[in-house]
Structure 1
């Protein structure tokens, strides 16, 4: 077993170790800062395989890749987000989102037991998470108060520390002489999981029910389980709603087929519960307070009523007939006024229609002026694109990875310097929502296939600054993507040897057929000895003869 990594160590030129969060028989968990994400905290889990040897290391790498793919599938807001996997110095690492908060074991130890209302709320918040992972064929295998964190930001329960790493270590032990350790926690995991290693969705529901009764009673599972009768006796320590007790007891059944078979079934059963009127906070001490003594109030003396004299003058409004007449007059006047107002408006609109002069210019002028106004008007509503420019950072293996988000009107340009003849490979881990375009130094795609594609592999044509443009697919409002870019220098020995071909070294082009006709050209220069009658031709032919001699 390798020793823990020292605090301050930087892994992958990116993650700086801050402290050790915990260590078990299968893995260590470190708190680290991601220097490429503005020192954002993250959790790094190191696998500790007990088996040794070349075969075990190859098997560990293979299984590590498979389990990393499983973790990548679990995309839920109440599960730490998986970021990447890597290996360094014969060590295997998983990088996940860091969740700030306290575990439910810490909350239980620092206060009193949880109320029935709090436990019901916890189950309703966790059951959708279990339904999410079970629908993908994933079993947590290790649900307990230690593996539930109450997140500080929204106080929702977050499910951590999946048994994937433990199961991976167990698979490695199966190929060695070490006795494999069952994946699970004693007291929380059911018998079929601890004895045979098999786990089902109902196995996670069993562990969730044990967690619930531990929070309700603040007792350990061994204190509430009768081993002689193989039954739970938790109801001796706490009284809850009988219907809620039946739901928990069905989840705790020792036979897997007699439990609820899915998290959705448990959630439907909890919806039928009557609301429990209990305080939100259960760890506050209640005190009995006696009501304060109230001093008797002395009887107030009765006052004799004061007679109010009636006014001598009477108003016209005192008569009901007058009030009715005034009301009728107001209604009539309002009706006549509104009718006159509507009539005047209608007459004005008719007058405007008749006053309009006839059209004195040709109709094409109207169509030409109306068309651009209709086309130009919607343009201000279109949001302008936003372009970000970033530089790719390659590691010692010439591999660069980017984990980021992009919105519908954004374009991210990643720049890098490439050499002529280098092979480039660019792809997304999960394609479908974003595409990429690779631009050469002249800001044109390096070939016709390098425009708006999910992945690309090819050869860089020239040396210079290249750009990888990342854009979302039409209709995608926001997307999370993980881009991987790899540069590989191809061997230059093969292309340099091709110019030195045997036909070129043999100087095949030197005996050009154009030099073959030189002898016939020299013949007329030699023939002038039997002179011709035309002397002008004899004077012109010597001019090429010195050229022939030079040749």
Structure 2
């Protein structure tokens, strides 16, 4: 058995022996008199995730149970954790009404341990997709942005910063192909502020995120909505190159990722990615809507080009009651409007 296999084996044994859900996993016993625990899905810094099915509902639908916090002996910390848990569960309940976010099905506390029950999404995450089918081209990545950016806009409108957007947290649903955003960092951050963690070791920092995908301001514990924009930009680079962000070089002056040498993109999309990945928050796109507008402008570029005039001024003959030869200056705005009308007329003629 190699070292990696040994670590995985130890990881599974630790969970199976030291969590309530692990001890009843695959035993046929029910958790909360309704959930049959099937297998371990994973373990993060602040909890363990299990695949389960609700045997009390018709069809025994699958679900995900996350144990967010371990047993706590300090009553004050337990009270703070309970308050934060309730607050974050409420937020998840609000944003989970979106079709591209797993629905919150239940949340509860048992003996100081906190649990979330969410909809199970069957499918591969984007990291698995790239490993299976290879890197994506520009058209595919633009389509990815058009799928994820409205979700980002939705959660930001609900005052939630995800804080951990990366390929592993983006699933392609096997059933209908929709892109689903999972594993909300907002919940993690609230729970992470409680000193007790799973292994009863003191938490040294409240940073939540993934190195390389997290924006600089997030590393300094001041995440903003634009931090999620940065993470989406880094995810685009991974889809285009298959390279994790820490494998890229950084500009020694600006601190920005040096990625252009690995990808051949159109100038407009290069501009969009550069702006998403700006180190300075003020220079970055400030909202998902801004990125969507920039993407939509690309399809309008040929139209705008047709409407541009290289003439410095234009003189047109007009009919006048006193002098048929009087000439009138046409301002640039009017010239552009006239060009648009002419273009639309030509377009209608072609259609007809």
TM-score interval for Structure 1 and Structure 2 normalised by the shorter chain: 0.7 to 0.9
Q: Which has the higher helix share?
A: 2
Q: 1: distance between equivalents of 2:192 and 2:235? A: 24
Alignment-derived partner of residue 216 in structure 1: 240
Larger relative CO (CA 8 A, sep 6+): 1 or 2? Answer: 2
Work out whether residues 30 and 36 of structure 2, in 8 Å CA contact, stay in contact via their aligned partners in 1. yes
**Aligned equivalents of 1:143, 1:124: Cα separation in 2:** 15
Q: How does 1:292-441 map to 2 (within 5 A)?
A: none
Q: Distance in 1 between matches of 2:186 and 2:49?
A: 14
Stretch deviating more after TM superposition (122-131 or 3-12): 3-12
Gaps of 5+ in 2: 1-13, 301-352
Change in Cα spacing, 1:18 to 1:227, as seen in structure 2 (3 Å) is: farther
Deviation at residue 184 of structure 1 after TM alignment: 0.8
Matched, 1:67 2:88: yes
- TM-score normalised by the chain length of structure 1: 0.48
User: Are positions 1:172 and 2:197 aligned together?
Assistant: no
2:228 to 193, 197, 204: 204
CA positional deviation for 1:200: 1.2
Alignment map for 1:449-488 (pairs within 5 Å): none
Contact 2:71 2:113 in 1 (8 A): no
Distance, in Å, in 1 between the alignment partners of 2:100 and 2:212 is 25
Distance 2:263 2:247 in 1: 13
- Deviation at 1:90? 2.8
Partner of residue 280 from structure 2, selected from 223, 231, 255: 255
Structure 1 residues 27 and 174: alpha-carbon distance in aligned structure 2, compared to 1, 3 A threshold: closer
**Structure 2 residue 176 is the aligned partner of structure 1 residue 117:** no
- Answering whether residue 58 of structure 2 is matched by residue 35 of structure 1, we say no
1:17 maps onto 2:37 in alignment: yes
CA deviation string 1:166-220 (max 9, x = no partner): 212222129996422411110001011112x221110000000000011101111
Structure 1, unmatched stretches of 5+, are 276-551
CA contact (8 A) 1:139 1:201 kept: yes
Distance of 1:227 and 1:29 partners within structure 2? 38
1:274 positional shift: 4.1
Are the equivalent residues in 1 in contact too, given 2:251–2:258 (CA < 8 A)? no
For residues 69 and 89 of structure 1, what CA distance do their matches in structure 2 show? 21
Indicate the RMSD between aligned Cα atoms, in angstroms. 2.1
Q: How many residues align?
A: 274
For residue 273 of structure 1, give the secondary structure of its aligned residue in structure 2. helix
Larger Rg: 1
CA contact (8 A) 2:192 2:203 kept: no
Give the conservation status (yes or no) of the 8 Å contact 2:213–2:230: yes
Is contact 2:53-2:63 (8 Å) kept? yes
- After alignment, is 56-65 or 141-150 more displaced? 56-65
Aligned residue among 157, 161, 166 for 2:179: 157
